Structure formats: C-alpha cells, structure tokens
Structure 1
Amino acid sequence: MYTFHSLIDGEWQAGTGEAFATFNPAAPDETVGTYRATSADGIGAALDAARLGQARWAAYPPAERARLLNRFLDAVEQQTEAIAHAVTLEQGKPLAEGRGETGKALREARFMAGEAVRSHGGVVPAQKPGCRNMVLRRPRGVIAAITPWNFPVLTPMRKIAPALAHGNAIVLKPSELTPAAACLIAEAARGILPDGVMQILQGGGSVGGALVSDRRVHGVTFTGSVATGKAIYAAAAGSLAELSLELGGKNAVVINDTDDLDGCLDQVVGAAFQCAGQRCTAISRVIVAAGMHDAVADGLRARAEAVVLGSGQDPATTMGPLINREQLERVAGFVDRARAEGAAVLTGGGHARVEACPGGHFYQPTVLTDVTPGMEAAREEIFGPVLTVTPYRDFDQALSILNDVDYGLTSSLFSNDAALIQRFLDESDNGMLHVNHGTVPDDHMPFGGIKSSGVGAYSVGPSAVQFYTTEHSAYVKQAGG
C-alpha cells in the first residue's frame, strides 16, 4: 500500500489536512494508497522552498541543468515497472499501457531536457549606431502544476521536464485519485535535483485552488476539464499568473476514402478505447462518407467486440475499467440519453460484468449509429469507451460537422485526395491535425488545442518556452559608440 505524504523542500512531510485513500478500479474494495491533504501551512512552506530553490536552480548553467535533468530521467526509467504498477493499481489501465505511458513520458522529457541548451533568443539589428539589440529569455519562476487522474505519469512529466529545463521550480498537485505515480517520480529526483526545485502537494480541489491563487506562483499549468480550467483561470487572475491550460476534446476522425480500411479502423479503435476512452485525445466521433458507412460501422463493431475487459494486471486484458463509479454512471448516462434521442446501439451500450473482477467499474466498448450532429453524444465529451458514427454526403458537410463543436484539440482525416487533405489542414479547427493515422502525437511536437480545448502555450515541444520563460528586449550601447 502506498503511503506517500507531501514533498516539501526535499523531505516527505506528513500532512495535517483531511485523510483520503485511493482504490483499485477493477476491485473497488481494495485500498491502494492512503494519503493526507497538504495543509495551508504546508502549501506556504512548499512555495517558500520553491522560491529559494528556483533562485539556486536558475543560477546553474543550462548545460548543467540538462545534465541533472537527464540523470533524474535515468532514475525514473529505472523505476518503470514500479511506476507502471502504480498506474495500473490506482488508475486501472492495463500494465502494458502503464509501461507505454512511462516510456512516452520519458521520451518527451528527454527532448525537453535538450531545450535547456537550445537557443531561444537572438540578436536583432539595431536602429541606432553603436548599439546591439538582443531578445533574451529568463526562467518564469515558480510554476504551479495540477494534473488529472487519467495519465498519472505522462501529464506530470509534461510539466516537470519543461519547467526544470527552463530553470523554474515546480509545485505539483497530482490528482487525489492517482497520486502514487507522481510520488514515485518525485522520489526518484531526491538526491539528484536540488531541494526545493520539485515539490509535491496532496489533496483535492481546495488544495489546488489555494495553490494557483497564491501570489508566490508565477505560472499555472493545468490539464483537466473545461469547467475546472475556467475555475483555475479565475483563481489565477488575481495575481495575473501566466496560464497554460490543456482542457477537453471532442475529437473526430473523418473517413473519406482509404486503400487500407482495416489499417484505418485499427488506428481509430486504438485511439478510441485506449485508457478506456478516458483521454483528452481519444477519438470519439467517426464522420464517414455515406458510401463507406456500413463497412466502417461493421468494422468498428467487430473490433469493439474483440476488446478483452479485465484487470490491468491480467496480461490478457486489452481494456481496463473506468476510474470510479461516478465515471461509470456518467458514461452510462450519455449512452442512455443518446438512445432516447434516437441513436442506435450497434454494440455495447451497458455496464460490463467481468467474472474475475466482481464490482469493477467496467463499461462495454460501445458503437452508436444513427447519430446526428446535434445530439449530445456527438457534441459533449463523454470520456469513456463510446464511438459515435455519423455519415456525410460531401466534404463541405464533413468539415461543418467536424468543426461545429466547442472543442478544438485534435482531429484526423483518412483520404488519398490531395485537395481534401489541404482543405483539412487549412480548415480543421483543432490544435493537432493528423492525416492517414490516428491521434497519437510525436514526442517532440507541440501538444495542445484551441477553442475550449486550451489556453496559452502548448505543453511540450519548442513552443513550450513561451510559457516557461519570460521574454526581454535588451539594448546595449557599446562603450564609446
């Protein structure tokens, strides 16, 4: 059982706030971890330690920061199995997914470590004789990070690595549903990174609210729901802290034509049902040319019915449970309301009983047809293993359906038509665009969305420097000039 406390100034300190526990979603009666929320005094101590630690860390030469960051990442990599097991026990995803999540997090983090020694400023020709103009970047300062329960390794590392690479200190509050993986990551940093550079707070929304509204915080990075993102936006406004918010998605794939339908559908289903559909980049809408509708629907049904539900610890499992009872009922409610609106359940559509995991929070992989663009299931983020299928008559209508939602995170097009591909790249209202493959991003590319899916600079990639540093215009008058 995990019993981590708050990590403040390099030491695990027992909190004095409310006690809470985590549970195995596949066996909800099994307690996985016991924790105690960080008190107000603990939050203040963490921020004070971060301020001092950041000043020391920023003074390190960038190459030294990169070296120490890579040593830390090596230590995390050595703990891959322990971290993956923590993910499976608290979040529920298959162990293979937990290992894969850890591996991807490390690949992204190693790229971001390299950002410490890449050029992000420059020399600009001056207007005045005898002068030299430069654009400089400095560490932003103390970064507050709040991360969700669905990717307990990847999302914290997407904030830790760029923050440290650019010379900041980070105060991280992981989700109270899945904190163990972040604690194992922080433990790996002890003895490598200077004290105060990385702090871990425990607790729920009240701890997060106190953290992001504190004037000692210079930047707030959050991944989670739109509703919580709006609350964080408001809380951070008092101190005018810089924001980077990665919010929800209602992601679609447009299937117009393909010479490899099986390969196309394999990627769609992988993107839809990984993490039981509980991921911001999950494909949840299939917008398909009318002539391909039946073949696509049949292929999706066959693949959904081949999914093996079970405990993430069982190697045979290909999809684990939903995180908790509340999420299970939320997904079921979406499907029930879709039925009431006229959608047809092609397969799935209900709670699933897994004999080896009685009481587990399992929902059947579900494909809904006869879904029109105005239905709730086609517009709102379900965050579960549910795919909707909607036909279109021409590409103008496909783009209209694709873009007529509040979200703008990621989208995909399958087509061999160069003109349609160019239109998709020009007209899809999403931050990430994929052509002829699913929605899995590369490790070094900017990650984020537009519209209700994001605010501020993207999480990783070269553009992350815009959030993790401040920009300064410098004018140097040469002596005697």
Structure 2
Amino acid sequence: MSLAPSPLSPLTELQTTRYGLFIDNQQVEPADGAYLDVLNPATGRVWAQVPDASLADVDRAVASARAAFEGEWADWRAADRAAFLIRFGQAIADHADEIAQLQVDENGKLIREMAGQARLMPEYFNYYAGLAQMPTGHTNPLHLKQMLNYTVREPLGVVAAITPWNSPLLLLVWKLGPALAAGCTVIAKPSEITPVSTIRIAELAAECGLPPGVFNVVTGYGQPSGTALTTHPGVDKIAFTGSTATGQAIAAAAGRSLKSLSLELGGKSPNIVFEDADLTSAVNGLIAGIFGASGQTCMAGSRILVQRSVYDRVVEELAERAERITVGDPQDDRSEMGTIACRPQYDKVLHYIDVAKGEGARLVAGGTPATVDGFEGGLFLRPTVFADVRNDMQIAQEEVFGPIAAVIPFEDEDDAVRIANDTQFGLAAGVWTGNVQRAHRVAGKLRAGTVWINNYRKTGYNTPFGGYKQSGVGRENGPDALREYTEEKSVWVDMGQGVKDPFNPRA
C-alpha cells in the first residue's frame, strides 16, 4: 500500500488506501510508521489506513504552522485571504460529491445528508471572505486631552482544531473559515473514525494556493496526538467539538498554559410540545430532531417534553412514525436512517436502552439492532422511543448520542420550563406552540444557546451556535466567531507636546 491522494469507495472497491499526515501541503509518512485502520460502519470493512501520529509528528505540524504564521501567510492582506476563501469554497463545491461520499464511507450517515452539508460548506467560506475585509477596530473618545486611542484586531496564532466524527467536515469548516479569515494557521485533528475527508479538503486547500503550513492535518487517537496538541507550547488556541467530558479535560490542560479556548460540547436538548401546537408539524419536528443523523448530533432533541393533555396522542404517533423509518444502506436515497458510526458508540447506545428499561421507562418503539440485507456487518439500530420517562433517569440526563427519544410528560408552562432547564447541559431547545406570546416567553426562560420555535435543528453560517452551562464555551458561526480567532490590541498615541517630567510637573 502506498500514500494516495484520493480514496476508493469501499462499496465499489476492496482495495485499502493508505494516507499520510498532511504537513507543509503534502502527505507525509508518520515518524514511527504507525497506522490505524478506518472502517466503513455499514459494511464492517477496512477501507483506508491513516497515521497514528506520534509526539514527533505533532511537533512537526506545529513547527510548520508556526513558520507559516510568522512567514508568508503573515504577508497576505485581508483581501488575499478573502480571495483564497472564495476559491477554496468553489473547489469544495466542485468536489462536493466526492467529499460527501468520503464522509458516508467514514461514519455511515446518509449520502443525502452529507451531500447537503458538502453543498452548503462553500457558503461558509464566502461569508467569512466578506468578514475578512470588514473593519475590526475602532477609535475611542478619551477623558485625556491630546491623546488618540484606537484598537486593532490581530490573528491569534496557531490553532488546533479538534473535530468529531458525526459531521467531520461541516464542523471543521465552522472553525477553519473564521480562523483563516482572521489570519491564523490551523492544525486539524479529526476523529480517528473519520480522518480521510479532512485530509482530502486539506489537499484542496493546497491546490487553491494556500501557503505550506497554513492548514495541516494530524491524524490518530486522542492519546497521544490529541493530548499533545492541547498541551503544546506552540499552540495558541484550541477549538474543540465533542463530548463534555473530553472538553473538560482539554480545558484543564489548556488552563495550565492559558491557551485560548472555544468548546462546543454535549447536549440533552428538550423539544417541548404544548397542547395548542400543530401536532402534525410538531411530530415531524420531533422525528427530525432525534432520528436525523441517527441521533448522532449534539443538538439532538433527545428529551421530548409533551403536555399531559396531548401526551398519549403524541407518544402513539411518535411510536408509529419511528417504526416506519427505513433503516438501510447510507448510499441509498430511499434510506431514512443510516448506521451508528463505530462499534463503541453502537455498544453505548445498546447499553442505554438496557439502562432505560431497568429504570422503568416504557419502550414503545425500536430498542433492538436492525438487520439490513447485504450489510450483515453493519452497525444499524432501530429508531427507539421510550415513554413515561422521568427527568431524573439516566436516559434523560446523560447524552446518549444515538436514535433514542425519551418522552416526558409535563403539566403546564412552568412545569415544562422547570424540566427543560433541569440538566447540566444547555445547548439547544425546541418550543412547539400556536401561542406567539408563550413561544417568546418560554424561549426567554430556557437556558440554552439556541431555541427553535415551531422548527428544529436549523443552523446558519451567519448566526451564532454554542451552549450554556456544560454545553460549551464561546460561539461558532456568525461575526462573533471571527473574534474568537483574534487578539485585541489597544494603541495610545500622544497628540500633544510630549511627556513631561512625572516628578517635576512644573518643569
């Protein structure tokens, strides 16, 4: 097996392709020659190998990023960075089918979902191309005469972008767009489950004229490469998306050297249905909120809170709809739910099903593995609905990250808000009601970074995303994201007659 720039789909080829680290605009072999296998979760087959980076490999990537930050990249004007981002976005658009396919091969999500994300990513780069050229400083009126004060924003430095397996490229773009627009350099560390797609878009960036070292990719397990990045003295900022537990560990490690942090972490988001809601629309939103992406999304509406007067009807409709969802080949447009991304996650979801049963939750749909003809080695699960869940159950308090809906009854508005906020998380929430006053009133009381009213699971490049409480620190997307990758400098200028002797003011 040799290093290759382009993969082969495991659904059409049995060959295993070996990839390298991406450093200085080229694939390179790992220092110690260690590789790990990449499996397709639908077929169970190994289809690629990537380096399991060592400390020496991390040092090499950081040195490359630092040299680029202090070298050629520092000379690029904002207009140059903007022009690159537009070229890069177009290259991704031109290769959208390829990079969508790569992600399906890696994590088993539906091709139609991955294709939709791939076609959307260029818009993020176009947006940040515009922001790259926007004024970022200002002048300040002062209490002192004959003095001028102005501020400028400068790129923060070398960024370690650590990304998860559920939407590997879109969540990287959320970091890469503002980081490059600001003038930072980036070392991406994708999940060991989904590394190939990240290598591929780094190649596209190089083909679009990005200087060597500006965008590097280090693959491998969290230990040692991920840990090495979070503690490396040459890294100025860590941008992480993943579990709250890992985010806490990263924050603790980064705190020792006071690195800048942005953390987008876990969720246990409430999707609240009031009795005056359009129940047909609400059930559609509930289904999309928890079974889209096989429930493997931080914003999943995994706690479904339903007012008591319509509770039985909603539970019945949810169960019936869940049983009708087509679980199948992620490549088939007729499939409505793909696989769980990896064996450990698959086993974790099955464990939570057993826990929920043991705690007394009532299983009304799913709860078992799904069998798909021709994919006997695939990690498929049936969409699962538990009713009569109490909010103190594990199934209601802990992030499962899988296709499990926990349905909880509530009495009135105050009860709904109390239950919704009774969690360590605060990433997102949904409110379904026909009462406009109630919609805004409840949205204002929910401790969540995003609240959807009569819709769910929508995001955009120009609006912030992030969480309260243990769901994260900082915001991604929107204009504020650009500030996350800059430092603000205050400059004072004497406009008068110079500095007088401070110890002899009459002189």
- Aligned with 2:460 (options 442, 449, 452): 442
Partner of 2:69: 54
Which amino acid in the other structure matches residue 298 of structure 1? E
Correspondence for 1:340? 358
Local SS of the residue matching 2:139: strand
The 8 Å contact of residues 219 and 242 in structure 1, kept in 2 or not, is answered as: yes
Q: In structure 2, what is the equivalent of residue 416 of structure 1?
A: 434
Aligned partner of residue 310 in structure 1, secondary structure: coil
2:373 match: secondary structure: coil
Task: Say yes or no: does 1:37 pair with 2:52.
Answer: yes
Which residue is equivalent to 2:19?
A: 4
Instruction: Give the conservation status (yes or no) of the 8 Å contact 2:142–2:148.
Output: yes
Kept in 1, the 8 Å contact 2:69–2:157? The answer is: yes
Shift of 1:40: 2.1
The answer to whether structure 1 residue 184 and structure 2 residue 178 are counterparts is: no
SS in 1 for 2:395: helix
Matched residue, 1:461:
478
Code of the residue aligned with 2:487 in structure 1: it is: T
Give the letter aligned to residue 418 of structure 1: V
Does 1:84 find its partner at 2:100?
yes
1:306 and 2:324 equivalent? yes
Q: Percentage identity across aligned positions? A: 35
Q: Residue by residue, what CA displacement relative to the aligned partner does 1:51-74 show, whole Å, maximum 9, x if unpaired?
A: 121123233111111111111111
- Give distance in 2, aligned partners of 1:380 and 1:104: 31
After TM superposition, the structure 1 stretch with the greater mean CA deviation from structure 2, 445-454 or 124-133, is 124-133
Taking structure 1 as reference, are residues 298 and 109 closer, same or farther at Cα in structure 2, changes over 3 Å only?
farther
| Alignment partner of 2:113 out of 79, 85, 97 | 97
Q: 1:426 to 1:324 in 2, by over 3 A?
A: same
Identify the residue that residue 12 of structure 2 maps to in structure 1.
Answer: none
How far is the alpha carbon of 1:301 from its aligned partner? 1.5
**Which one-letter code corresponds to 1:284 in the other structure?**
S
SS of equivalent to 1:322: coil
| Distance apart, 1:480 and its partner CA | 5.3
Which residue identity lines up with residue 260 of structure 1 in the other structure?
A: D
Shift of 1:465: 2.6
Post-superposition CA distance 1:202-248 (Å, at most 9, x none): 11111010011011111001110111111111221222110101110
- Measured in 2, the distance between the counterparts of 1:52 and 1:26 equals 41
Contact 2:92–2:121 under 8 Å retained in 1: no
Match of 1:214 among 232, 246, 249: 232
Question: Equivalent of 1:476, from 469, 472, 493?
Answer: 493
Match of 1:432 among 450, 455, 460: 450
- Runs of 5+ consecutive residues of structure 1 not aligned to the other structure: none
Check whether the contact 2:431–2:439 (CA below 8 A) recurs between aligned residues: yes
The DSSP-based 3-state class of the residue aligned with 1:210 is helix
* TM alignment of 1:365-444, pairs within 5 A: 365-444=383-462
Greater alpha carbon shift after TM alignment, 93-102 vs 126-135? 126-135
The CA deviation at 1:106 is 2.6
Residue 473 (structure 1) shift: 1.6
CA distance in 2, matches of 1:272, 1:409: 14
* 2:378 aligned with 1:360: yes
Alignment of 1:162-201 (within 5 A): 162-191=178-207, 192-201=209-218
For 2:27, what is the secondary structure of its paired residue? strand
Q: Report the 3-state secondary structure (helix = DSSP H, G, I; strand = E; otherwise coil) of the residue aligned with 2:330.
A: coil
SS in 2 for 1:397: helix
Structure 1 Cα separation of the partners of residues 61 and 103 of structure 2:
25
Report if aligned partners of 1:2, 1:180 keep a CA contact under 8 Å in 2. Answer: no
Q: Give the match for residue 294 of structure 2.
A: 276
Deviations 1:382-433 (A, max 9, x none): 1000111111111111001000000000001011223322322221011111
Bigger CA radius of gyration: 2
Q: Does the CA-based 8 Å contact 1:159-1:459 persist in structure 2?
A: yes
TM-score (norm: length of structure 2): 0.92
Q: Which one of 284, 297, 301 corresponds to residue 266 of structure 1?
A: 284
The alignment's C-alpha RMSD in Å is 1.4
Count of aligned pairs between the two proteins? 479
* 1:234 corresponds to: 252
CA contact (8 A) 1:271 1:440 kept: no
Residue equivalent to 2:124: 108
Q: How far apart, CA to CA, are the structure 2 residues paired with 1:412 and 1:164?
A: 33
* Separation of aligned partners in 1, 2:17 and 2:203: 13
